[in-house]
Structure 1
Amino acid sequence: MRLKPESQAQQRVAAQPQHPHRLGVGSSGPDVKRLEKKLIQHGLLKGRADDHFDTQTRAAVKQFERQNDFKHVDGVVGNGVWRRLELGAAHEGHVSEQKLAGARDTFRTVTINVKSNPVMDQAAVVHDVKRAASQGSLIGWNEISPDRYFKAIRDLGPGWGHYMPRDGGLRIPNPISWKKSEWKLQGEPGFLRTHHGKEEVSPNRYITWVKLKNKETGKTIVRMNTHLVSGAWSGNKPHKEWRQDMWNKHMDKLHDLVAHFEKKGYPVIVGGDFNRDSYKVLGNQVKYDNKLNVGTHGHSTYDYLMHTPNGSLKSHGANVDHGYRSDHDGVSVKYTIKG
């Protein structure tokens, strides 16, 4: 029996690998990893492929759709994108279209100490700033001094928002940055001076924080950033007793601040350079997202990312990046935020 032309067309479509569901923000599984590997091969996605579809993956898909003249550019992977990327048949890790409506989202946050004692040359500073910006949409910076370090961060461009407060005439060296495409600042950010410095021993120390609304889910989180006095628990620094006293006072204030935002119902992410090796600095108040036995400053684990366990955030593990010019490694963590 001779098939009608339209039936032949239908038969050709049926013979092509079909993608039974769509992939979008919130999807996970082996198919997402295959997708991200292809996007990396096309130069559209930076970093390493994992099995979680986040907003960076969506941005890469949108770019692919534009390059290939798709009529609808939405960052969602259906049959057309799947076939054009030559990924073949899909079978796992899908979510229904209802779940793509924004029930949850994923993002990465980074903590990095950009060494300033002694200061680095500007090319090294710019390298580290750009490296951090390529790894996450929410960054806590530490040891940002002198002013040219701040300039390197501002030079990330208009797509980034920054909190760079001053304490009187002093620019606080713990700014926070976020991608405006993913986050919207809520209310006034803030800082707390935990103690005054001691001449020729240590500068003033601070905690900075911002409240940010995730544009995908509408969920607001608090991101805190801090850097504690060095030499309190290691080495033979002068005035060690003073350093330990200041370290403990700093942590008491951080504990109270985290508890304050917890009581208001906000999930809190805390990051920074804690200058205490492989130690649960906030006890059981938080979940520690990077392993405490993986060095971030030589063999010592000084740089931490952690979050409050209220159920709104889920960590997908940390990455310690040794590719920075600073004497500290960058730590990034991928989270799912539930709307």
Structure 2
Amino acid sequence: MRLMGSALAAGLAVGVLVAPAEVPSAPPIGRDLRLAAAAPASPTYTTFTLNIRHDLGKRKARQDMRKALTTLGDAGGFQEMSDLVDRQTLMRLCKDLDWGWYMPKDEGQEIPIVWDRSRFRIIDGHTVKVHGPEEGVTPSRYINVVRLREQATGKVFGFINTHTIAQASYDAQATDMHRIPRLRKHFRMLRREILALFASTEHVFVSGDLNVNYLADRKRRVKGLPTDELGDLVSFDMPLQGSRGPTSLLDYGMTVKDGSGLELAHSRIVHGWNSDHDAVQLTYRPVDLFRTGPLFNRPVSSIADRHRVLNRVARAIDDAEPGGLVRVISSRIDDDAVTTALVRAAAEGVDVRVVLGDGTATGAEKRLEAALGTDRKAGSWFHRCSGTCLGGAGKQQANVVLVSRAGGTTDLTLVGSGPLVRNEAGRWTDAFRVSTSSVYDGYARLFTRYAADGTDTSPRRVLAWGAFKAQLYPVPSGRRHDPVLKALAPVGCRNARGLRTDDGRTNVRIAVQAWSGERGRLIAERLGVLQDRGCDVAAVLGPKVLGGIRRQLARAHIPTRDAATGQNLLVVDGRYGKLAGGHVAWTGAPGWTDQSLVSDGITLAVPYKETVRGYLDGFTRAWRNG
């Protein structure tokens, strides 16, 4: 059970447990601004793990603990502190040095977690019992877990510390068959705790004396030992050197492989202790998982890369905290990770509100409706529109997730190129991340209009949110109303000074899933004119780009590549309006079809060069690997 700050103060021996305070014209080209709601960058994060041998004696144990606290980093885990005097010594040292500690009174006190209180405050912590004691064999074994708030940024850092049964494995083999079941159980439970912490925490680190020699285990891969049980989930970040003698590496530092929020800078074995173990010190660069810019699926890469967008959306929802608000507009939901995150967030006290277009309910959508209910007077609810949500004659095609706070990032907006469905993993898709309050507030107002589920008669279809502009669908049909044609109208082709215009030609990059009809013909015609005028036009074409459009592009000598793209993306880099160095990306758009004009949709125009650079890179990957 997770224990909040007040419960900790009453039931645990910890440091001071004060919860932190809740911390139609061309769009203007945006300056590279510092976005007010984004989490500030964290400094490097240095952690450690050290086994304090239980029979060192008070003086030597104190020397080792003090040295660790003053030289090894920002947070760490100790093991084998079964002696009450040693634990009391650690608490006194922490008070003197202004460090916090997590050391439950009754269970898990032998594996305390400590942190520098000038950087962190505790959010919550819990202890899991792995197995009980057996005289002459082992004491009880535990896993300790804490979440820490970084005071300067509001980001959440998770720390797990543990110590497994000894003498079950020699040289990474299943040696003692009486002990080995408890060791394997420990690693199974550790895996569950890592996954659970990862689901609610930006930055996850795991330490411990695992009593398995990693130098041998990484090669042997014996069933149920660390490499076999955890190797698909975590990176083993220790240096390949002994921590208990030159050939035995028992002391581990680990991070989740994909999306842990921590990037290893360096690690080392630190010698010179009274204990029979050396310390392992690890330094990380915290990664902002929600920094402004596009995030891409890569369907020809690893499993993690194929699910990168959906998993990051789920991560943002999971990182929402009780009392927060998550809002979702989507055409369809069937992804398990996103669905589970939404259900779990609602159960933990986050207000979760979901608006979907009409259609046959998926199993995931039925699950959401059952979990959230349909009473829109409640904090959480699920609503399916009757037809479209804004009164269009087509379909609901917008896909947006709003999270009031995800860890240290507030006012987070995720604009998806496609719905929240499993088969997006097989496509080139993206999500644009931004934590600018004007964008968040703008989408929040649109969410209210979507949830009203009526005919939206507002004449304003272009909304300015600072330097960003949102194009709202449906719009009247015809050339003069078409948002894509209007976006292409200011494009100039020669004497460009963009990001990648060494030849002086403006780059126009297109990745479109669906392109057809009279509307599609007019857009292709305009692109042909730009190509003829000297622009560098190239297009990645998805499965719903019809043959007539393909032939029209070929006649205009526009290079194309087929790819499994799920995007409807337009990027301009070069001469735009009066600017020789313009850069704009239009993302989140509905398809380039006649039906899309009368469908619900929201296109976001992003006029920032680093975002355009990211989209140019994403286009190039799809072009080369589609």
Q: Which residue of 1 aligns with 2:266?
A: 317
- Cα deviation for residue 264 of structure 1 reads 3.0
Q: Does 1:103 align with 2:41?
A: yes
SS of equivalent residue, structure 2 residue 62 = helix
Q: Distance in 1 between matches of 2:111 and 2:254?
A: 17
Name the SS for the 1:242 alignment partner. coil
Structure 1 pair 149/231, CA: closer, same or farther in 2 (3 Å)? same
CA 314–216 in structure 1, closer or farther in 2 if over 3 Å, else same: farther
- The reply to whether residue 332 of structure 1 matches residue 286 of structure 2 is no
User: How large is the RMSD of aligned CA atoms in angstroms?
Assistant: 2.5
Greater share of residues in strand: 2
2:110 to 163, 173, 196: 173
1:297 corresponds to which letter in structure 2? R
CA–CA distance in 1 between the matches of 2:198 and 2:100? 24
The match for 2:196 among 254, 260, 270 is: 260
| Residue matched to 2:241 | 294
Residues 225, 171 of structure 1: alpha-carbon distance in 2 compared, 3 angstrom cutoff? closer
Gaps of 5+ in 2: 1-31, 219-225, 289-626
Alignment of 1:29-178 (within 5 A): 102-116=40-54, 119-134=55-70, 135-158=72-95, 159-167=98-106, 172-178=109-115
Tell me how far 1:266 sits from its aligned partner. 3.6
2:231 corresponds to 1:283 = yes
In the alignment, the residues of structure 1 paired with residue 177 and residue 244 of structure 2 have an alpha-carbon distance, to the nearest angstrom, of 23
2: CA distance, partners of 1:240 / 1:335: 36
**Gaps spanning 5+ residues in structure 1: where?**
1-95
Q: How far did 1:288 drift?
A: 1.3
Deviations 1:138-169 (A, max 9, x none): 010100021111122112243111111133xx
Asked if 2 retains the 8 angstrom alpha-carbon contact of 1:105 and 1:217, the reply is no
Give the match for residue 209 of structure 1: 145
Contact 1:192 1:207 in 2 (8 A): yes
Quickly say closer, same or farther: Cα 1:221–1:171, change in 2 above 3 A.
closer
How far has the Cα of 1:283 moved from its partner? 1.2
Q: Distance in 2 between matches of 1:311 and 1:189?
A: 19
8 Å Cα contact 2:204/2:260 also seen in 1? no
- The Cα offsets for residues 163-219 of structure 1, whole Å up to 9 and x where unpaired, read as 11133xx66201111111000111x31000101121111000000011001123321
2:256 aligned with 1:308, yes or no?
Answer: yes
Partner of 1:200: 136
Query: Aligned in 2, Cα 1:124/1:220: closer, same or farther, shift over 3 Å?
Result: same
Call closer, same or farther: CA 1:196–1:225 in 2, change over 3 Å: same
Q: Given that residues 202 and 260 in structure 2 are in contact (C-alpha distance below 8 angstroms), is that contact kept between their aligned partners in structure 1?
A: no
- Distance change in 2, residues 1:242/1:219 (3 Å): same
> TM-score if structure 1 supplies the norm length?
0.65
Cα distance change of structure 1 residues 108 and 241 upon mapping to structure 2, 3 Å threshold: same
**Farther off after superposition, 206-215 or 255-264:** 255-264
Give 3-state SS (helix, strand or coil) of 2:207's partner: strand
Highest RCO, 1 vs 2 (Cα 8 Å, sep ≥ 6): 1
Q: 1:146 to 1:307 in 2, by over 3 A?
A: same
CA gap 1:146/1:311 in 2 versus in 1, 3 angstroms = closer
- In the superposition, the TM-score normalised over structure 2's length comes to 0.36
Q: Which moved more, 1:324-333 or 1:265-274?
A: 265-274
Conservation of the 8 A alpha-carbon contact between 2:265 and 2:285: yes
* Aligned counterpart, 1:185: 122
Q: In the alignment, is the contact (CA less than 8 A) between 1:273 and 1:304 conserved in 2?
A: yes
Rounded to whole Å, the distance in 1 between the matches of 2:233 and 2:283 is: 20
Moved over 4 A (4+): 96-99
Structure 1 counterpart SS, 2:170: coil
1:201-239 deviations in Å (ceiling 9; x for gaps): 10000000110011233210210000001111118xxx9
SS of match in other structure, 1:189: strand
Q: How far apart, in 2, do the equivalents of 1:157 and 1:296 lie?
A: 25
Give the aligned partner of residue 179 of structure 2: 243
Larger radius of gyration: 2
**1:228 and 1:247 in contact (8 A); partners too:** yes
What is the alpha-carbon distance in structure 1 between the residues aligned to residue 33 and residue 202 of structure 2? 28
- Indicate how the Cα distance of structure 1 residues 265 and 189 shifts in structure 2: closer, same or farther if over 3 A, else same: closer
Shift, 1:308, TM fit: 1.1
Counterpart CA distance in 2 for 1:256 and 1:290 is 21
Which SS does the other structure have where 2:195 is aligned?
Answer: helix
Inter-partner Cα distance in structure 1 for 2:81 and 2:188 = 24
SS in 1 for 2:285: strand
- Percent identity reads 29
What are the within-5 Å matches in structure 2 for residues 224-239 of structure 1? Answer: 224-234=160-170
